[in-house]
Structure 1
Amino acid sequence: MRRAYLPHASHAVLNGVSQIFLQANPVCGALILVTIALYAPSLLAGTLLGLLSGTLAAWCLGYARDDIELGLYGYNPALLGLLITLVLGSSALALILVMLAGALSSPLQRRLLRLMRERGGPAVLTLAFVLFGWLALALAGMLESVAEARLVEFEVDGWGALGAMASGVGQVIFLGEPAAGLCLLLALLVADRRAALWALCGSAVGVYSALLAGATEQQALAGLAGYNPALAALALSQIHRSALIPTLGIALAIGFKLAFDQLSLPPLTMPFILACWVVALATQRDRRQPETRLV
């Protein structure tokens, strides 16, 4: 979609939502917002408030316009708004915390983007969301309540396997309903069909790995073990055409998720970030090795 069809502010907002799934596609962003409105209307206010506070803070601080329009200052605050309202509800205090966290995430995001671009570091991904999410939950004394808040009750029926895979995609934005996950997959298909297929594959492997590792059926089918591998597969498939690299990312994300479970720390999207960083560092090293041999 060309920029001329929408005002710049609308692009920034809708791209900010779609960047949760590493896309810069206004239609994808609009479909994600519709999905939240349909399946978790109580989280919509927090999502929009976080999204707007982070984007507006970046604009007021004079950050690069292209970055703002691409949604790079919107997706972390949107995720923070989802997380905080999921755990704390939509009280006035919770919404104030959403605005504060969303606005403060923008300076951190700018710093991380600068480090990445100037020093050639790995992608920043959702690191600002994870750090502020942990801080906000710790201050509220709710770190241990995240997993319980993300569980949903649904009956295991004939399409339970597909439903669990879809739930893994939905849990990227804290939606465990299989139908919500399918709507998000549709949004991804609009933006990038290959990315959508890899996300579904990553979620499937994560869910069934959780079952093999002894997770309860409710936890596995709710998709809690699927969203990090889904994000890792999605992200790496957009950089590497080989199937091997996204597959490696899936395995690493699953391993890091198990490590966070042992630490009793809510993983949020940190396993996905770590998996992508490990792959990025490994591939950079492989590219430099021939040069080293020639010296």
Structure 2
Amino acid sequence: MDAALTIPRGVAQVDFQSSYWTGLLFIIALFVGGWQFGVFGLLGTVTATLTAYLLGITKDRVSMGLEGFNGTLIGVGLVLYLGADWMTVALVIGAAVAGSVLTSAMNTVLTPYNLPTFTAPFCVVTTVVVLGAPSFERLWSGAPDLPPPSAADPGTAMSWSDFWRGSFNGVGQVFFQDKWYVGLIFLAGLAVASRLVAAAAFVSSVIGLLVGWWFGAQAADLGAGLYGYNPVLTGIALTGTFVLLSRAGVVYAVIGAATAAGLTAGLTDLFDVLGGHTLTWPFVLVSWVFLAAVPLFSNLRRAP
């Protein structure tokens, strides 16, 4: 039973939660978004978790799902960018194994600095695979064309529909989902684990959306949640998860979420030139910087 619950915990750990009920709701949300996201997300989770177990990672990390969540995102990301076929199945398995090894390597490097790996292994592996995929016909032939929503609907005038859909989509886009009701299921999963975490996620999504709107981002992209998901992860990380909850901590989390939204635009433009994708790089980079700075701020404390 413990081994079986490790898999939903791995999915839940994408948002830093260890509740298997949260993970089960996340899995349901993925299947609601599309069968391929559910299947490939689970394939990545199982592969990464099994790899860590076979290589001898400590039982506590495996059972808490800490070795599975990068595999989840690798599976969902690669099926989105490369399409659902047997070549992608093989690639997800190989990429999840690589992600598991990279997770341990990055833990070795970052632990002395008291910094988590976050989703950096997923970002590195997925970026390398997507950048290299066009060189391989069997990988790239089934890749779908994925223009941003603003390509078909340009304009910066945000409507009420863009606002409320984007608020929920920001939560769902952590898992590459752009249907508002899927984001709502993810939000419900977070509420099962912690109402504080759910509130932090939703507020952070709104912050990201408003920052994008303030600077004049494309309304369709805002409505799709593309400026919300990195603030969501940053907000959760800095609101009680890795920084103790306090008034100063809440302000710090708001600043972090806004910074992640701003960095999203810059990295999106950079990866557009390179042929890659923004992924969760803004969250990883902003959270590393903000956590590294905490020891010098007397009003902030790292969570144990």
| TM-score normalised over the length of structure 2 | 0.85
Q: Which amino acid aligns with 1:241?
A: L
Q: Distance in 2 between matches of 1:82 and 1:177?
A: 15
Q: Give 1:212 deviation, angstroms.
A: 2.6
Hey, what's the Cα distance between the residues in 1 that align with 2:184 and 2:54?
37
Pairing partner for 1:148 from 146, 149, 164 = 146
Aligned to 2:245: 241
Report if aligned partners of 1:51, 1:77 keep a CA contact under 8 Å in 2: yes
- 1:139 aligns with 132
Structure 2: how far apart are the matches of 1:13 and 1:215?
37
For residues 173 and 268 of structure 2, the distance between their equivalents in structure 1, rounded to whole angstroms, comes to 17
1:255 counterpart residue number: 262
Equivalent residue for 2:60? Answer: 66
Deviates more, 1:244-253 or 1:18-27: 244-253
Q: Would you say 1:211 and 2:213 are equivalent positions?
A: yes
- Distance in 2 (alpha carbons) for counterparts of 1:92 and 1:282: 45
Give distance in 2, aligned partners of 1:62 and 1:47: 23
**2:211 touches 2:258 (CA, 8 Å); kept in 1?**
no
| Deviations 1:217-258 (CA, angstroms, capped at 9, x unpaired) | 211100001000111001110223131121121122122212
Q: CA deviation at 1:214?
A: 2.4
SS of match in other structure, 1:207: helix
**Partner Cα distance (2:131, 2:238) in 1:** 31
Between 264-273 and 10-19, the greater mean CA deviation after superposition:
264-273
Instruction: Compute the displacement of 1:146 (Å).
Output: 9.3
Shift in Å at residue 261 of structure 1? 2.7
Who is 1:123 aligned against? 116
Letter matched to residue 268 of structure 2: D
How has the CA–CA distance of structure 1 residues 126 and 54 changed in structure 2, closer, same or farther, with 3 Å as cutoff?
same
Work out the number of aligned pairs and report it.
Answer: 277
Counterpart CA distance in 2 for 1:277 and 1:221 is 28
Are the equivalent residues in 1 in contact too, given 2:70–2:121 (CA < 8 A)? yes
Superposition deviation, residue 158 in structure 1: 6.1
Instruction: Answer yes or no: is the 8 Å Cα contact 1:260–1:267 preserved in 2.
Output: yes
Give percent identity, aligned residues only. Answer: 27
| Unpaired runs of at least 5, structure 2 | 135-139, 299-304
Aligned positions of 1:213-232 closer than 5 A: 213-232=215-234
Alpha-carbon spacing, 1:45–1:151, altered in 2? closer, same or farther (3 Å) = farther
Unaligned runs of 5+ in 1: 1-6, 288-295
Task: Judge which range, 100-109 or 37-46, deviates more.
Answer: 37-46
Measure the CA separation in 2 of the matches of 1:259 and 1:19.
27
- RMSD between superposed Cα atoms in Å: 2.2
Structure 1 runs of 4+ with >6 Å offset: none
1:215 Cα deviation (Å)? 2.2
Aligned counterpart for 1:266 among listed residues 262, 274, 277 = 277
CA distance in 2, matches of 1:122, 1:177: 33
Take 1:209 and 1:147, find their aligned partners in 2: how far apart are those partners?
A: 28
1:256–1:274 Cα contact (<8 Å) kept: no
Q: 1:162: Cα distance to partner?
A: 2.2
State the partner residue of 2:44. Answer: 50
Q: Distance in 2 between matches of 1:20 and 1:217?
A: 27
Separation in 2 of the partners of 1:22 and 1:147?
Answer: 31
Q: Are residues 1:24 and 2:18 paired?
A: yes
State yes or no: 1:113 paired with 2:107: yes
Cα gap change, 1:146/1:221 in structure 2, threshold over 3 Å: closer, same or farther?
farther
